[in-house]
Chains A and B, each alone.
Chain A
Amino acid sequence: MSESTGVIHDIGYRHYDGARLGRGHAVLALTVHSLRGVFGLGRTARAKIIPFLLVGVMMLPAVVSIAIMAVVKQKGLGYTEYAAIMQAVLAIFLASQAPYTVAPDLRFRVLPLYLSRPVTLVDYVGAKLAAMTTAMFLLLAVPLTVLFIGEMLIDLPGDTPTAAYLTSMAGAVCYAVLLACIGVAIASFTPRRGLGVASVIAFYLLTSAVSTVLFATLESMGNDTAAAWAWLINPFFLVDAAVQVGIFGAKPAQSSIYPSGAGTAVAIVIMLALIALSVTALIMRYRKAASR
């Protein structure tokens, strides 16, 4: 009988005796980490420049509006039209930051590492979407809230704009959910950050340009009913038409006219369908990425 040579050495690794926090905490940690990353926190100084520059630009109209109210005693910018006016900035923020949340993990193929933990695929996608949604919501809600507080402090004659503010906050939630879902879904199709940025902004520019051209043409033909539908191609006016104008009865943003009658219902259906489509595409994309 030969002597066994295999020995297990105790090289002093310590066991983890603490509480195991489980799946929920893992998902929360991933969400918070992604959310911080969207704003460049915990990344290099150069990664912070662009998000905070865009946050600053988003704040500008609110600050200017408060200054106008304080000096001229006149109402500044409306709450519900804030997102539609600043849509280019929101789109640039989405385009530049959504690829960050998904591209590095895809590029370095670390998805199996995440999935070897209690985090499931749906958890991962949910965490990324939640992070981007929160970021977009903060980007829109903070200037709106600042504007609201400013207006309350200045206390202009007339009724307080609480209803308009609450409507715009409900709108901000819908803007955030729709934009984040579309942005992350488009960005997830390429592991390259640059191409992801270009794809997301291409989506916004295409929809807004097509909507503008179609509206101008149909209006010049005198077909006002069809022209009103052309606004819904742009995702920003879609949310405005569906939620802020449709459900809460606010004034349409800028000079847009939305389709009346069934228009609201159709806008809501399109919005929900876009969200569902994006989430489905994301989950399918990640099923494929995880199986490699």
Chain B
Amino acid sequence: MNGVIAGISYRALLGRRRIWLLILLPLVLIGLSLLLRLLGVTDERTTVTLMQTFAIGTMLPLLGLIAGTGVIAPEIDDGTIIHLLAKPISRPVIAQTKFLVAASMLALFAAVPTFIAAYLLVNLESGIAYGFALGSFIGGIAYAAVFMLLGVLTRHAVTIGIIYALVWEGVVGNFVPGARKFSIQQWAQSIADQLSSSAFFTTEIKLSFAIPALLIVTIGAVFWAGQRLRSFSLTGDE
């Protein structure tokens, strides 16, 4: 962990236009739950649907993509990463710091709004609010690691990330049950299911699979990103 690098990364994420997207997504989630509250639909089933399709299914991968690639990809894109890499700081430490920054942003912009949105609808009933907040917190950490790695690996990180989140987790996961085993969203839902006792919410992936998978993916991605930065070559823009 390096304080200066963390500061630079926070400024890159929070400055300029990126912040608006980071704020807009949670705002829409909270707005939707307020609207549902006004309409008088505050049952558990609607809340679980909202959490599953919107909070974990849409908002979390998008925020993960914006924060995860946002901590490193712009620097690689305009070449300023070279100033960072030229300093006597261990490259794995740079990767770890940037990962921690992205993960903390996701906790703030994904987990907290998820809790608020669920709380607005059903208070603390059946542990839905706690469950989904924890699920999106842990899922967000995994997304941050994976998408940061993508940002180091390729210049088309955002597009590839979208294809993973939309096509693999969304479309393929709907038709091929096996694909759901390898989906961060599903792992996040298994975590959420542990705290929630709601009858409307069931998950297929067992915790004994989800927790090791989350750990391996997160630690593996951060480690690989660090290794990749050690032998990083700056290629020209196309």
* Chain A residues in the interface with B (C-beta under 8 A): 43-44, 46-47, 50, 88-89, 91-92, 95-96, 189-190, 192-195, 197-199, 201-202, 205-206, 209-210, 212-214, 216-218, 220-221
Minimum CB–CB distance for A129 against chain B, Å: 21
Q: Is residue B210 contacting chain A, with contact meaning CB distance below 8 A?
A: no
Q: Is residue B74 contacting chain A, with contact meaning CB distance below 8 A?
A: yes
**A-facing residues in B65-105 (Cβ within 8 Å):** 65-66, 69-70, 73-74, 77
Name the contact of A88 in the complex, choosing from B28, B73, B166 (C-beta under 8 A): B166
Minimum CB–CB distance for A181 against chain B, Å: 20
Q: Is residue B157 contacting chain A, with contact meaning CB distance below 8 A?
A: yes
Name the contact of B77 in the complex, choosing from A189, A194, A206 (C-beta under 8 A): A194
Q: Give CA–CA (A189, B159) in the complex, Å.
A: 18
Contact B238 A210 (CB under 8 A): no
Contact A213 B162 (CB under 8 A): no
Given A194-B74, A194-B158, 6 new contacts (CB under 8 A): A43-B238, A96-B156, A198-B162, A209-B57, A216-B46, A217-B36
Q: Give CA–CA (A89, B167) in the complex, Å.
A: 8
Contact A92 B166 (CB under 8 A): yes
Name the contact of A198 in the complex, choosing from B21, B28, B32, B166 (C-beta under 8 A): B21
Q: Give CA–CA (A97, B120) in the complex, Å.
A: 38
- Given A194-B74, A195-B17, A217-B41, A209-B46 contact (CB < 8 Å): no
Minimum CB–CB distance for B62 against chain A, Å: 6
Minimum CB–CB distance for B102 against chain A, Å: 14
Q: Give CA–CA (A190, B74) in the complex, Å.
A: 12
Q: Give CA–CA (A221, B77) in the complex, Å.
A: 49
Q: Is residue B49 contacting chain A, with contact meaning CB distance below 8 A?
A: yes
**Tier of interface size on chain B:** 35 or more
Per DSSP, chain A at the interface is helix
Minimum CB–CB distance for B178 against chain A, Å: 20
Contact B158 A213 (CB under 8 A): no
Provide the B169-186 mask, 1 if CB < 8 A to any CB of A, else 0. 011000000000000000
Q: Give CA–CA (A217, B58) in the complex, Å.
A: 17
Q: List, sorted by A's number, 20 A–B pairs whose CB atoms are closer than 8 Å.
A: A88-B167, A92-B162, A96-B156, A96-B162, A192-B74, A194-B70, A194-B73, A194-B74, A195-B17, A195-B70, A198-B162, A201-B62, A202-B21, A209-B54, A210-B28, A213-B53, A213-B54, A214-B35, A216-B46, A221-B39
- Given A88-B170, A206-B28, A217-B162 contact (CB < 8 Å): no
- Given A88-B170, A194-B157, A201-B62, A209-B53 contact (CB < 8 Å): yes
Contact A88 B65 (CB under 8 A): no
Q: Give CA–CA (A89, B73) in the complex, Å.
A: 24
Residues of B within 8 A of A212 (CB): 53
Name the residue on A nearest B24 (C-beta). A202
Q: Is residue B50 contacting chain A, with contact meaning CB distance below 8 A?
A: yes
Q: Is residue B25 contacting chain A, with contact meaning CB distance below 8 A?
A: yes
Q: Nearest 5 CB-CB pairs, A to B?
A: A96-B159, A197-B158, A209-B58, A44-B238, A194-B158
Contact A92 B66 (CB under 8 A): no
Contact A217 B39 (CB under 8 A): yes
Contact A194 B69 (CB under 8 A): yes
Minimum CB–CB distance for A275 against chain B, Å: 22
Minimum CB–CB distance for B65 against chain A, Å: 6
Contact B17 A190 (CB under 8 A): yes
Residues of A within 8 A of B216 (CB): none
Minimum CB–CB distance for A32 against chain B, Å: 19
Residues of B within 8 A of A218 (CB): 39
Contact B50 A198 (CB under 8 A): no
Contact A95 B17 (CB under 8 A): no
Residues of B within 8 A of A192 (CB): 74, 77
Q: Give CA–CA (A179, B73) in the complex, Å.
A: 26
Residues of B within 8 A of A220 (CB): 41, 45-46
Residues of B within 8 A of A44 (CB): 238
Residues of A within 8 A of B215 (CB): none
Q: Give CA–CA (A23, B73) in the complex, Å.
A: 38
- Given A209-B54, A210-B32, A88-B159 contact (CB < 8 Å): no
Q: Is residue B230 contacting chain A, with contact meaning CB distance below 8 A?
A: no
